[in-house]
């Protein structure tokens, strides 16, 4: 069974986090939701609280197949500043393990030095990352080497499905996509 980490911090984008967690669990992927600050419950940007499975400091990156960062500016800045998240990102990238981020969260990948040349993000965030390699709205999901990025709340289900395809294969991807009525999701660039 594939095992992924979704770290969340206060101010995370709820649609993104919940879509990722839900779609991946439907695909029988083990999803660990980790908080950054010893709190079991973390409040998102729109006042929705998520109960976490663990604290980020207790995560063993060796046991993970992927780390996925949801966006939301406050949450993204916290992920970018958290030494544990940054260490996990660097460790996983050094081993060629899968990394993904949506919305503003590619900023945290950039800060860790793991964001590859081609990426997408929420419009205007590229100004804080770099314009070179920014794919804008050319695709809902952009994949470059071991890193996947996506644009924001409206692309969250497609992003999660692209992750399912990467981790579980075409058959599971098609089954979950049909089950959640997401036939509008396009292929990854």
pLDDT tens by residue, 2-49? 999 999 999 999 999 999 999 999 999 999 999 998 779 999 999 999
Residue 158 is among the residues annotated as catalytic for this protein = no
Is position 13 within any domain? yes
Is position 186 within any domain? no
- Confidence at residue 39, expressed as pLDDT on a 0 to 100 scale: 77
Domain that holds residue 81: 3-179
Is position 188 within any domain? no
Q: Which member of 103, 121, 158, 185 is catalytic?
A: 103
- Confidence at residue 185, expressed as pLDDT on a 0 to 100 scale: 87
What's the structural domain count of the chain? 1
- Confidence at residue 177, expressed as pLDDT on a 0 to 100 scale: 95
Is position 17 within any domain? yes
65 three-state secondary structure: coil
Give percent of the chain above pLDDT 70.
98
Is position 168 within any domain? yes
**CATH number of the domain that 164 lies in?**
3.40.50.880
Comparing CA positions, the residue from 45, 112, 42 lying closest to residue 84 is 112
Q: Is 41 left (phi over 0), alpha (psi -120 to 50) or beta?
A: beta
Give percent of the chain above pLDDT 90.
94
Give the burial string for 159-187 (b: 16+ CB within 10 Å, else e).
bbbbbbbbbbeeebbeebbeebeeeebee
User: Taking all residues of the chain, what is their mean pLDDT, rounded to a whole number?
Assistant: 96
Is position 37 within any domain? yes
Q: Residue 189 above 60 pLDDT?
A: no
CA angle 31, 35, 39 (to 5 degrees): 130
Is position 53 within any domain? yes
Is position 63 within any domain? yes
């Amino acid at each position: 069974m594939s095992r992924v980490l979704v770290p969340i911090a206060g101010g995370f984008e709820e649609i993104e986090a919940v879509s990722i967690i839900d779609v991946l669990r439907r695909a029988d992927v083990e999803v660990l939701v980790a908080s950054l600050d010893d709190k079991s419950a973390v409040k998102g940007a729109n006042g929705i609280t998520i109960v976490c499975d663990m604290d980020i400091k207790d995560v063993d990156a060796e046991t993970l197949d992927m780390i996925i960062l949801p966006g939301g500016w406050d949450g993204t800045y916290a992920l970018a500043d958290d030494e544990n998240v940054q260490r996990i990102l660097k460790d996983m990238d050094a081993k060629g393990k899968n990394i993904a981020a949506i919305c503003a969260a590619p900023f945290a990948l950039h800060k860790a030095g793991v964001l590859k040349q081609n990426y997408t993000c929420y419009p205007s965030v590229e100004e804080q990352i770099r314009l070179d390699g920014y794919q804008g709205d050319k695709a809902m999901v952009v994949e470059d080497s071991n890193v996947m990025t996506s644009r924001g709340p409206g692309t969250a289900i497609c992003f999660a499905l692209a992750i399912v395809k990467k981790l579980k294969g075409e058959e599971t991807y098609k089954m979950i996509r049909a089950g959640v009525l997401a036939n509008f999701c396009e292929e990854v660039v």
